[in-house]
Amino acid sequence: MVNKESFVKQIYEDWGENPQSEVCVAILDYLLCSNSRNISHITYGSLRQVVGSAYSTSDILISVQYLCGDRTHLLDTKFELIENDYGIDISNSELKIAHKTGQLVHPETGELISNFEEKVYIYFQPSSLVKSII
């Protein structure tokens, strides 16, 4: 078990008085909130609401990247293909191949999706580490 205070200390050691410290702590608080413990689909928009309008898009994106990284690993990055208001998870390896070839193979139908960049969206999930924080 890891405690919240050790993460907060680490965040401030890494970011000091930069806005990323406050953004990361706000997201950490959100992840640890009892109402949020079962959330498995976190979008940039939901993080923007958590953090508020006082921070720039850049501050939030840098903070999210940090929280997805090896140093803290509080968030897992996920991707989904959205068609007709229906989302299908896309693995990192599928997306990597799509970027190399310029086409995404639909995971259910096997059809090629040539304009996949317009239909694939990023989202985040709390990492397994979040559940062990007290």
Residue 89 has pLDDT above 90, yes or no: yes
Residue 34: pLDDT band by 50, 70, 90 thresholds?
A: low
H or E, element range at 96: helix 92-101
pLDDT confidence of residue 80: 95
pLDDT confidence of residue 68: 97
Q: Are the CB atoms for 81 and 104 separated by under 8 Å?
A: yes
Helix axis angle, 57-68 to 44-51, nearest 10°? 110
Q: Per mean pLDDT, which of 30-34, 37-41, 97-101, 112-116 is the most reliable? A: 97-101
- Which of the residue ranges 28-37, 62-71, 82-91, 116-125 would you say has the lowest mean pLDDT? 28-37
Regarding beta strands 112-113 and 75-83, do their DSSP bridges make them parallel or antiparallel, or are they unpaired? Answer: unpaired
Tell me how far apart the alpha carbons of residues 101 and 98 are, in angstroms, rounded to a whole number. Answer: 5
pLDDT confidence of residue 131: 84
pLDDT confidence of residue 83: 87
Q: Which residues, 6+ apart, have CB-to-CB distance to 97 below 8 Å?
A: 105
Residue 134 has pLDDT above 80, yes or no: no
Q: How many separate helices (H) and strands (E) can be counted in the chain? A: 5, 5
- Residue keyed to tokens 């940039």: 44
Q: Which residues, 6+ apart, have CB-to-CB distance to 90 below 8 Å?
A: 79, 80, 81, 104, 107, 120
Residue 125 has pLDDT above 90, yes or no: yes
